Structure 1
Amino acid sequence: MKKLVAMFALMFLVVAPQSVRAADEAGFADYVEKIKAEALADGYSQATLDKAFAGAKFYQRAVSADKNQPEFKLTLDTYLPRAVPEWKAKQALEKYNEHKELLEEVGAKYGVQPRFIVALWGIETNFGGYTGGFDVVSALTTMAYEGRREEFFKKQLWQALTIIEEGHIDVEQMKGSWAGAMGQTQFMPSSFMAYAVDYDGDGRKDIWNSMGDVFASAANYLKNAGWRDDVTWGRQVQLPADFDESLASLKTKKSLAEWQALGVRRMDGSDLPQRADIEAAVVIPDDKEGRVYLAYANYDALMRWNRSHYFVAAVGYLSDRIRFPR
């Protein structure tokens, strides 16, 4: 699997060649008018469209970022210290304690351990410190105009217009990544529509400013992804020398007793937990000489959030640092 470290992507952007559509600022204005006409025909109000596109701009930087996301040939041992430096582990514990009452309330309601909510928050946006500075409507319109994935980005744009029309966020505050991921949870508009929660009861699902909405929306996503609050995300393990690597797949689930019989052990060499109600998969993100995990159901749920083993390992590692502070 390619090792994509998205959090460093914007640091290494290069100018992309022209797209098939030859996306440029000159044609963008015409495309915006076409989009507005389609949206109006689909039932969006003129007032919503006027607000949403009042400051519409073409983001060449977004097109470049999409085409030139760099690949980093890292291992988990070199990646994790970058994704979860000591200062972030310390801050995660501070944030956990700062919002403990609210986190425990949300965690109990949705069946998600609070440490994972904080870990996701930390990995996605550095605890809300960086949520992206792109105007979401402009970014999505730019990516639709660029043309390679027009259908996908138009769907996201329509969802963004719905969010504006329903009054969840002012257009000026609707900021996110170059791809349109929004707020402190970095939800795409479709995820917002499916999982965002108005936890504070003010009539708005505000994943930008309301901590209750941020935490509950993340927890609601995980709950719907099959989260279990009676198990952790996974554990690092060691494999026997003769382990059959064809068994290392999220699709291959076995009981802990079955993995034990195949020689899988905890990192200290001791037996695996004796729990008959847990099935797990063996995951080898790099190779047998690197980190190996037994992946539980919550690993799968985190993969639904972001289909990167490195992302899941970073969230899991940070959650463990909250649970077992040094």
Structure 2
Amino acid sequence: MTRARHVAPFLLLTASGLVHADFEACRDHLKQEAEAAGITSSEAMDAIAAVEQRERIIELDRSQPEFVQTFRQYLDARVTPAHVERGRELVDEHDTLLRRVQSDFGVPPAYIVAFWGLETHFGRHFGRVPVMDALATLACDQRRSEFFTAEFLDALRIVDDGNMAAGDMQGSWAGAMGHMQFMPSTFNAHAVDYDDSGRIDIWNSLDDAFGSAGSYLQAMGWQPGQRWGREVTLPDDFDYSEASLDTRRSVDDWADMGVRTATGDPLPSADMEGSIIVPSGANGPAFLVYDNFRVIMRWNRSISYAISVGYLADRVAGLGEIRADWDEEPLAIEEVEEIQRHLNDLGHDSGEPDGMPGPRTRAAIREFQTAAGHTADGHPDHDLLEALRRAVEDSNTQ
């Protein structure tokens, strides 16, 4: 029998661990939340009454590409020669608009186009899920109920403001909308009427979509004139415990430690701080990333996503390819869960096993690797899994 946990009355835990909802009760709860927030228009109430639960959305939430693809797979699927060529064509095609965005918000054209490419394949795929259904379904799911309840209320505010009718709001399974896949809260905080039409339309107006992206990036701290980062080479004796977004050093300090460009040249001297990251572990490429990389991660908190945006922007702007050559064999979600269980059993706290190797899991991996005398790159792979299995077996025989 599954031990009961405290959840909202409309959320039910199943034996499989997935959470389903008494959707009628949850919809009533969302209506109460809207009324408490002062959202009481007939349009909003009609939108709430019309929402439907979509089980497929819960399945997609548990299998996001950041969780099931290796960094190599993720990057290769999103920065292809065709994407680079199309990105360059679109920079030329929308030059006047993109230069205006750069003048107003400090974000170069190649970055706006890179975000556009990753989010909707340059406007080809907005998603076909009714945004209200997506957000209501996720609000009625245990994993991130509070977050998506707030997003649902923000979507209702978009309807209230007259920017879009609820029935016309189509987007991703997670409720992201328009050319740049804004969440409703991002829309309400940062979207702009860049074409002066009297309403904000990030679905049909590239002016509004690009201007809103520039507005959002500027608000998050985009640094004009700075790049996102660069591929680097590390010295043979590099301490991989230093490879973390939590470790920030000046570019000159990294240079003094033997870090060089991907071509082996000295790092350019710069009055900037950066972090070393190795998304595929010690056997893959290394990157020195700067403040704008952190801004990209505020857009999407995935290292694979942030590198892909920066790398696509570089390629669109005419810079070269990543020089490292490496292979990765993906881990199944069940194998990541096994890694997390073994880490916990050995006293390295990785949190509740969920098959998602986030910062807590990577920190626990580093602890184990350090204690075992392995390269402490924090990277989950099959070699790590085998080492953990042996360590658990040894601990059980002592």
TM-score normalised over the length of structure 1 = 0.87
Match of 2:78 in 1: 83
Distance 1:48 1:249, change over 3 A: same
The residue matched to 2:68 in structure 1 has which SS? coil
CA distance in 1, matches of 2:35, 2:41: 7
Equivalent of residue 99 in structure 1, options 86, 94, 99? 94
Match of 2:263 in 1: 268
CA distance in 1, matches of 2:33, 2:291: 42
Match of 2:70 in 1: 74
CA apart distance, 1:54: 5.6
Question: Quick check: 1:282 aligned with 2:276?
Answer: yes
Distance 1:145 1:272, change over 3 A: same
Question: Quick check: 1:301 aligned with 2:295?
Answer: yes
> Any stretches of 5+ residues in structure 1 without a counterpart?
1-15
Alignment of 1:5-84 (within 5 A): 19-20=18-19, 22-23=20-21, 27-53=22-48, 55-69=50-64, 71-76=67-72, 78-84=73-79
Alignment of 1:95-244 (within 5 A): 95-244=90-239
- How far does the alpha carbon of each residue in 1:135-181 deviate from its partner, in whole angstroms, 9 at most, with x for none? 11111111122344322211111111011100111222211111111
The residue matched to 1:288 in structure 2 has which SS? coil
Match of 1:316 in 2: 310
The residue matched to 2:140 in structure 1 has which SS? helix
Alignment identity in percent? 42
CA distance in 2, matches of 1:18, 1:28: 18
TM-score normalised over the length of structure 2 = 0.72
The residue matched to 1:112 in structure 2 has which SS? coil
- How far does the alpha carbon of each residue in 1:83-132 deviate from its partner, in whole angstroms, 9 at most, with x for none? 11111111111111111100000111001111101100101111111111
Aligned residues of 1:279 and 1:296 also touching (Cα < 8 A): yes
The structure that has the greater radius of gyration is 2
Aligned residues of 1:75 and 1:290 also touching (Cα < 8 A): no
- How far does the alpha carbon of each residue in 1:13-39 deviate from its partner, in whole angstroms, 9 at most, with x for none? xxx95744x43xxx4245324433442
Higher relative contact order (CA 8 A, sep 6+): 1
Aligned residues of 2:112 and 2:213 also touching (Cα < 8 A): yes
Aligned residues of 2:177 and 2:183 also touching (Cα < 8 A): yes
Distance 1:142 1:302, change over 3 A: same
Aligned residues of 1:53 and 1:138 also touching (Cα < 8 A): no
CA distance in 1, matches of 2:162, 2:240: 51
CA apart distance, 1:53: 3.4
Aligned residues of 1:52 and 1:137 also touching (Cα < 8 A): yes
Match of 2:374 in 1: none
For the aligned residues, what is the CA RMSD?
Answer: 2.0
CA distance in 1, matches of 2:309, 2:70: 17
The residue matched to 2:238 in structure 1 has which SS? coil
Aligned residues of 1:285 and 1:292 also touching (Cα < 8 A): yes
Aligned residues of 1:40 and 1:46 also touching (Cα < 8 A): no
Would you identify which runs of 4 or more consecutive aligned residues in structure 1 move more than 4 Å? none
